[in-house]
A and B are shown apart, each in its own frame.
Chain A
Amino acid sequence: MVPFFKRKKQSNKGKRQERDSSGSSKNSAEEKDFIGSSLAANVDKIRQKTGYSSDLVIRLINIGPQSEIKIAVLYVKGMVDSQSINDFLIEQIMKNKALQEKIMPNEALDIITEEAVALGGVKSVQDWEELFTVLMAGNTILLIDGINKALSASTQGGARRSVQESTTNVSVRGSKEAFTESIETNTAMVRRIINNPNLWTESMKIGKMTKTEVSIMYINGIAKNEIVEEVRKRLKRINIDGILESGYIEQLIEDQTLTTFPTVHHTERPDCVAGNLLEGRIAILVNGTPFVLLVPALFIDFFQSVEDYYERFDISTALRFLRTVTFLISLIAPAVYIAATTFHQEMIPTQLAIIIAAQRESVPFPAFVEALIMEVTFEILREAGIRMPKAIGSTVSIVGALVIGQAAVQAGIVSPAMVIIVSMTAIASFATPSYAVAISARLVRFVFMISAATFGFYGIILAFIMLTVHLCSLRSFGVPYMSPLAPFIPGEAGDTILRKPIWAYSKRPHLISGENKVSEGKHQKPGPPGPRNMTNHYTEKGE
């Protein structure tokens, strides 16, 4: 009982803290620990607080005619752009003429702020907590002896991965850019696509230890205010040590945790984020990961790739149809095989039934065990393949081909038909654009296999009904997960399994977007020019 109460107390405390921080800033300012005016004491304190870390650089400069004013420049090695510190900060301060004259320390501060430092993002810091946050984020801190204030200059830099091609959302057509680990770069990439002041971002720091920068991005007017508010609320609620990846955020803001299906979408592509923002969705960018979250996410979103909108609609519709079929295959193909061979042999055409029976004659296991062996083997192979060093990768594929292939059949462990079914299922599960849904389908597949093995098609149908009920009961930020199919929204069902022509997208999704619902003007359907003006120009002239 004791730990239970303890936890409750703690959570109460957490709530109080939350209230405090959101309440009057006056109150919290009183509790803050301010920077002292003695430079030596300040530098000592910083050293001590950071545990004399070797990557903290402290550089002391003397200014003034008799060099009696001491200045300390502090930054963390590797996180800053050292060239800009040298060129625009230290050099400027040392060479500044005004600073060589006889001045008081507080004048020095003003001169440095207004004249000397040729860097953007200069601001004064008064309390220790802020100082450390700023310092650890890669800014440079300037301390002046005799002044109880610090100056921070934005000098973030250091080695980051450059913008590269996406590895997880590959496309044939469209922008090749993918997000990077830096949140500033990512925000800028989206802004470059949507040149509009209504693209709003809100930043916050999440994680008591990591202080990870997380920002919400949405288009004011297009995003629904209630959903933005809900996202804000859920993000503010988070009280955790560290955010290492957007997956942490995803798991902490989901509507329902007891499901294998993702209710938050993530992508690596700026154009995908831009497209979703234009539909009224909200992006959550997390520093340190190229994966940007998108909410609300509907089931059907996971079957769409941004490229669908770049191809012509008939092609995209066919592809989307194909994906739906592959999803169903990856879900129930082994289950149907098990049910058909175990319970409903009459539904297999006679010739095929005889062939399958002949193949299965030498196999010592029931169809379910056979399928289970193969499926589990495949999952092992897949898992091994992902995390294997590239040099050994080819070995896995060779061994894998032996295990799921001719050798397994010759050994009499499985029948050739089963090998085909399992391979087909595997390929189908890779054809689903979203990894998150593909992996949940893989889990659900085993449930289907078990129900097929115990009750044949009746089991499959009941499992399917239960799955449908479950999917229909899910919500993503209050939006029904299966919409616009269930609840059925006539105008929008055209952008689900089908993909209506671009000129027919007159409205934004009804349940997701806010007040601004009109996404394109009327009469967007293109056509040939007026009768006989241009098209028959040459033939009429008789040339």
Chain B
Amino acid sequence: MEKAKISAYQLFVLIVLFELGSAMLIPLAIEAKQDAWLAILIGMAAGFCLFLVYYSLYAYYPDTPPTDYAQKIMGTVLGRMIAFLYVLYFVYLSARVVRDFGEMLVIVFYPETPLFIMNALMVLVAVYTVRKGIEVLARTGELLFVLVSLLAISGLFLIVVAGIIEISNLQPVLEEGMKPVIKTAFTQTLYFPFGEIVVFMMILPYLNQPKKAKRTGLLALGISGVTLALIMALNTSVLGVATVERSLFPLLSTIQAIEVAGFLERLDVSFMVASVIGGFFKITLFFYVSVAGTASLFKIKEPTQLAYPLGVVILLLSMMIASNFTEHLQEGVDIVPLYVHFPFQVMIPVILLIIAFFKKGKQNDQAINK
């Protein structure tokens, strides 16, 4: 483990940027139609439970990353296998997000630039950051969080001023009852984006005030959940359900609809700024966590040395995981949540927690609060 410490506020910022990263771009929970925002909020509430599972594990082992304590809980062989699978999972997710952003940029802004170049640039910046370590990433987060917040607040202000919000688009609430909402929440939004907070199991040991971990995590999840719900509600109310369902990046369409005072229009670039920053944090966090996991698994003393090789792996993987964007999206909706996210976000942590509980008993909060 790197010798580094991050503060509670830094953790908060990282979680928010991470959660918003790619989730704010896509039509999240649109299977629930105009009640998408509700599905997001329910997903968030379920995400709280998942976070509490991760937190409890952290409370048992406040100084070690999960790649280490998995070995303590499950024994060396099985634990190492689990840790290795987690590293693969993080690498895969990192590559997925790289692909998401590369595709978004190629489709929307740079139709003639090869996808590989877009991905390579992003990975290059991520490699540079990962080499600098978690502290630098957290500080960068603090600075860029201000920029993203300013963009978000001014965007919201402009949408309101432009008068393009049609509340009727959000009605009727619960047209088909709770069932589709609940279904969407538990098949989609719980795992993406809220369950992905599983990466912070690897980050939590760096926290300098372990007591604040629970509050900070829940607060950050709550704020990002509310923001995402607000974004989807805005998208739906501005564009209408049908358009949101069809569009790849509804937030972009919403921003394009802004027209204030005759010259504040076509603010696509602000969308790009916010999304690239968010994407950068999501990619870099997954990337960093896979580097840290690999280092602790194979006992490598200088984790930053792994940034280059793993960067190449992530770059190549991002090109190979799907032959085109449609296939990529299809995998993301049909396969990843059930067969990838569910075991790693829910099954393994819960099993680990149960075994840890039987091994260590109820000394849960004592380790942290002493």
Chain A window 227-243, contacts with chain B (Cβ cutoff 8 Å), 1 for yes, 0 for no = 00000000000000000
Q: Mark B261-276, 1 if CB is under 8 A from A, else 0.
A: 0010111110011001
B109 touches A485 (CB 8 A): no
Counting chain B CB atoms within 10 Å of each CB, the highest count among A347, A349, A473 belongs to A473
B139 lies within 8 A of A486 (CB) = yes
Known contacts A344-B269, A346-B266, A473-B136; A465 and B105 CB within 8 A of each other: no
Q: How far is the CA of A468 from the CA of B143 in the complex (A)?
A: 8
> Is residue A407 contacting chain B, with contact meaning CB distance below 8 A?
no
A residues bordering B, Cβ < 8 Å?
343-344, 346-347, 349, 455-459, 461-462, 465-466, 468-469, 472-473, 480, 482, 485-488
The contact of B272 among A461, A465, A468, by CB within 8 Å, is A461
Which B residues are in CB contact (< 8 Å) with A343?
109-110
Beta-carbon contact of A487 and B142 below 8 Å: yes
Contact A457 to B139, CB < 8 A, known contacts A349-B263, A488-B9: no
The answer to whether A480 touches B139 (Cβ under 8 A) is yes
Note all chain A residues with C-beta closer than 8 A to B10.
487-488
CB-CB nearest in chain B for A461: B276
In whole Å, how far is A341's beta carbon from the nearest beta carbon of chain B? 13
Chain A residues closer than 8 Å to B267, beta-carbon distance: 347
Given contacts A456-B109, A458-B105, A472-B136, whether A488 and B142 have CB atoms under 8 Å apart is yes
CA–CA, A480 and B266, complex, Å: 38
Closest A residue to B141 by beta carbon equals: A486
- Interface residues of chain B: helix, strand, loop or mixed (majority): helix
Kindly provide the distance from the CB of A10 to the nearest chain B CB, expressed in whole angstroms.
29
Among all A-B residue pairs, the 6 with the closest Cβ atoms: A486-B139, A472-B139, A486-B142, A473-B136, A473-B132, A461-B276
Does B277 sit at the interface, judged by CB under 8 A? yes
**Cβ–Cβ < 8 Å partners of A468 in chain B:** 140, 143-144
B142 touches A458 (CB 8 A): no
In the complex, 9 of the A-B residue pairs with CB atoms within 8 angstroms, ordered by the A residue number, are: A344-B109, A347-B267, A461-B277, A462-B124, A462-B125, A468-B140, A472-B143, A486-B140, A486-B143
What 1/0 flags go to B118-154 for Cβ under 8 Å of A?
1001101100110010001111111110000000000
B253 at the interface (CB under 8 A from A): no
B226: min CB distance to chain A, Å: 22
Q: Which residues on B sit within 8 Å (CB–CB) of A487?
A: 7, 10, 138-139, 142
* Chain B 272-291 interface residues, beta-carbon cutoff 8 Å to A: 272-273, 276-277, 280
Q: Known A-B contacts: A469-B140, A488-B10. Give 5 more (CB < 8 A).
A: A344-B109, A347-B266, A469-B128, A485-B142, A486-B141
Say yes or no: A465 contacts B139, CB within 8 Å: no
Residues in chain A near residue B132, CB distance under 8 A: 469, 472-473
Q: Report chain B residues within 8 Å CB of A466.
A: 125, 128-129
Residues on A with beta carbons closer than 8 Å to the beta carbon of B141: 486
Contact check, A462 vs B122: say whether CB atoms are below 8 A apart: yes
Restricting to B157-203, which residues have a CB under 8 Å from any CB of A? none
- Kindly provide the distance from the CB of B297 to the nearest chain A CB, expressed in whole angstroms: 26
CB distance from A454 to the nearest CB of B (A): 9
Contact between A457 and B273, CB atoms less than 8 A apart: yes
Tell whether, in the assembled complex, residue B125 and residue A482 are in contact, meaning their CB atoms are under 8 Å apart: no
Select A472's contact among B109, B121, B140, B269, beta carbons within 8 Å.
B140
Q: B263 contacts which chain A residues (CB < 8 A)?
A: 349
B162 to chain A, nearest CB (A): 16
Looking at the assembled complex, report how far the CB atom of B93 sits from the nearest CB atom of chain A, in whole angstroms: 20
Bound Cα distance from A276 to B276, whole angstroms: 39
Q: When A462-B121, A465-B277 are in contact, do A346 and B143 touch as well, CB less than 8 Å?
A: no
- Alpha-carbon distance A8/B4, docked complex (angstroms): 33
Q: Kindly provide the distance from the CB of B307 to the nearest chain A CB, expressed in whole angstroms.
A: 13
Q: Which residues of A contact B273 (CB under 8 A)?
A: 457, 461
Chain B residues lying within 8 Å of A485, measured Cβ to Cβ, are: 142-143
Query: In the complex, A462 Cα to B140 Cα: how many Å?
Result: 13
In the assembled complex, how far is the CB of residue A17 from the closest CB belonging to chain B, in whole angstroms?
33
Least CB separation from A490: chain B residue? B9
Compute how far the CA of A455 lies from the CA of B110 in the bound complex, rounded to whole angstroms: 9
Q: In the docked arrangement, what's the CA distance between A465 and B272, Å?
A: 13
Partner of A457, one of B124, B137, B269: B269
Interfacial chain B residues near A486, Cβ < 8 Å: 139-143
Q: Which A residues lie within 8 Å of B105 (CB)? A: 458
B136 touches A347 (CB 8 A): no
| Neighbouring A residues of B276 by C-beta, 8 Å | 458, 461-462, 465
Cβ contacts under 8 Å, B268 to chain A = 344, 346-347
- Shortest Cβ distance from residue B137 to the other chain A in the assembled complex, whole angstroms: 8
Residues of A within 8 A of B269 (CB): 344, 347, 457
Return B342 CB to nearest CB of chain A, in Å: 33
Residue B121 contacts which of A346, A455, A480 (CB distance < 8 angstroms)?
A455
CB <8 Å contact, B139 and A456: no
In the complex the two chains form, what is the Cα distance from A205 to B263 in whole Å?
64
C-alpha gap A344/B122 in the complex (Å): 20
Minimum CB–CB distance for A478 against chain B, Å: 13
| Residue contact A482 to B118, C-beta cutoff 8 Å | no
Provide the bound-state CA to CA distance between A473 and B280, in Å. 17
Q: How far is the CA of A458 from the CA of B110 in the complex (A)?
A: 9
Tell me how far the C-beta of A385 lies from the nearest C-beta in chain B, rounded to whole angstroms. 35
Measured in the bound complex, the distance between the Cα atoms of B9 and A465 in whole Å is 20
CA distance A531 to B226 in the complex (A): 48
Taking A346-B266, A465-B125 as contacts, is the C-beta distance between A458 and B272 under 8 angstroms?
A: yes
Residue of A nearest to B272 (CB): A457
Residues of B within 8 A of A344 (CB): 109, 268-269
Complex CA distance for A468 and B280, rounded to whole angstroms: 12
Q: Mark B7-42, 1 if CB is under 8 A from A, else 0.
A: 101100000000000000000000000000000000
For the complex, what is the distance from the CA of A466 to the CA of B280, rounded to whole Å? 11
Name the B residues within 8 Å of A349 (CB-CB).
Answer: 263, 265
Q: Closest Cβ of chain A: how far from B347's Cβ, in Å?
A: 35
